[in-house]
A and B are shown apart, each in its own frame.
Chain A
Amino acid sequence: MEVTSLTTFVFSVVSVMALGCAGLVVTQRNVFRAAIALAGSFLSVGILYFVLSAEFVGVVQILIYVGAISVLVAFAVMFIQDVTSGSRPARGQVIGAVVAALIFVALVFTSFNTNWSTMDRINDPVAIAALTEGWVEIGTDDDVRITLESPSTSDEVVVENGGVLVDSTGVLGVLLVREYMLAFEMIGLLLVAALIGGLLLMRDPERTSGQPGRKISS
């Protein structure tokens, strides 16, 4: 099978899986089953990232969403909810459906009516080579992948058909610690704050001695 049609096939299958599992999450009465469907939806979205040639984001998605958040949801369901009884009938199914349909129609209408500037300009390796004036082509592989090197800084990139960077993980790492250094550090601060906040909220006020009068929840 040709590569592009295979990509389209995998994309279709994975999209249907993601949307089907998402539909189960919002319709399933049994909350534990909804949590399992949520994990399935996360996993499908992770595979979708691989199809979109975002390998690192796909791995992050599987590690954090499938590995951490789904487990957190499962634990929360087991700790909190009477699983078998499930959640009671919904509040406003009609208004929810109407609002969701409006959002969906608006988003799809906008995305199909906007003239996105697509990757055409850097679609083929020759155009990339022409764009990267001064960069030297130091290797090709079956006319699919070309390696370019900047003579001044000796930065190297590998570019594939479709204008996709092959070594996107390495480039992304450099991007995170150069251009987005501040945001990267702030994320660490935010996670520490969330960790401390979670610990404070989960603390049992009755069983914590030595700190009188510090009840967190009512």
Chain B
Amino acid sequence: MIIEHVLFVSAALFAIGSYGVISRRSLITVIMSLELMFNGVLIAAVAFSRFTPPAALLSGDPLTAEAIRSTLTGHAFAIFVTAVAAGEAALAFAMVFAMSRAGDSIEITDASDMKN
């Protein structure tokens, strides 16, 4: 397992998700594909955190606790993005639900009501 293999999985997940976002008609499936794309990005962040050292470790200066902590920046990024994705998913499904309750179609080609 080297970083290229993990990035390969990440790129494949992102591409599958983007295919879903472009080609699916139902808004629910589009949101699900968006979550897949989020996951692809998060895998890349964690992989970089795991395999590449931050600049503070390569500078040759004596290590500080901050420099050691900075190896986990990718993990912190992943957690923040997860939280944002959770809020986004909740709002998106609430909007889809509001559309379907108002009697509108939830197909993405018809979803232009929001400008009214």
Residues of A in contact with B (beta carbons under 8 Å apart): 4, 7-8, 11, 15, 18-19, 22-23, 25-26, 31, 34-35, 38, 41-42, 45, 48-49, 51-54, 56-57, 60-61, 64-65, 68-69, 72-73, 76-77, 79-81, 87-93, 95-97, 99-101, 103-104, 107-108, 111-112, 116-119, 121-122, 131-135, 150, 153, 155, 157, 163-165, 168, 171-172, 174-176, 178-180, 183, 187, 190-191, 193-195, 197-198, 201-202, 204, 216-218
Contacts and interface: CB of A to CB of B under 8 A. Distances in A.
Given A19-B12, A87-B29, A197 B94 contact: yes
B interface majority secondary structure: helix
B1 A111 contact: no
A interface majority secondary structure: helix
Contact of B3 (A54, A116, A163, A176): A116
Closest 4 CB pairs of A and B: A96-B23, A194-B87, A26-B20, A107-B11
A101 B16 CA distance: 9
Interface size classification for chain B: 35 or more
13 contacts: A49-B46, A54-B78, A57-B78, A60-B82, A87-B24, A111-B4, A131-B60, A133-B63, A135-B62, A164-B50, A172-B72, A175-B69, A175-B70
Contacts of B23: 26, 90-93, 95-97
Nearest to B23: A96
A12 B82 CA distance: 24
Interface string B79-95: 11011111111110111
Contacts of B26: 31, 81, 87-88
Contacts of A135: 62-63
Interface in B10-27: 10-20, 22-26
Contact of A60 (B9, B10, B11, B79): B79
B28 A73 contact: yes
B22 A95 contact: yes
A65 B90 contact: no
